[in-house]
Amino acid sequence: MESPYYPIFKPRWRFGITAARQAAFVQVPLYVSLGVFCLLGAFHSKHAQLFAYLFLAFALLSAIIFFVDWGSVDEP
C-alpha cells in the first residue's frame, strides 16, 4: 500500500533520503550563525530580535528534522 505522504515528499525520495539529511544538517549552522549575528545587532531593533528568534527556531526545527529523519527508511 502506498503511503499517503508519498505525493507530498516525492521529490525528497527521488533525490534520496541521504540528500535530505545532509540538507537538514547543513541548515543548522547556517540558521544558528544568522540568528547569532542578528542577536549581536538586536539591542536597538525589535525587528532584528524577531529575525534572530526565527532563525534560531528554524535551526532547532532543522536539527529535529535531521535526527527524526535519521531512523527513517529510503522508500515509503
Predicted confidence (pLDDT) per residue in 34-71, tens digit? 788 777 776 667 887 788 888 888 888 877 777 776 66
Q: How many CA atoms lie within 13 A of 66 on its CB side?
A: 15
Total structural domains within the chain: 1
Within a domain: residue 15? Answer: no
Within a domain: residue 36? Answer: yes
Within a domain: residue 19? Answer: no
**Domain range holding 55?**
29-76
Three-state DSSP state, 42: coil
Within a domain: residue 22? Answer: no
Within a domain: residue 4? Answer: no
For 53, residues 6+ apart whose C-beta sits below 8 A from its C-beta are 35
pTM over 0.75: no
For 47, residues 6+ apart whose C-beta sits below 8 A from its C-beta are none
Phi-psi region of 45 (alpha: psi -120 to 50; beta: other; left: phi over 0): beta
Within a domain: residue 45? Answer: yes
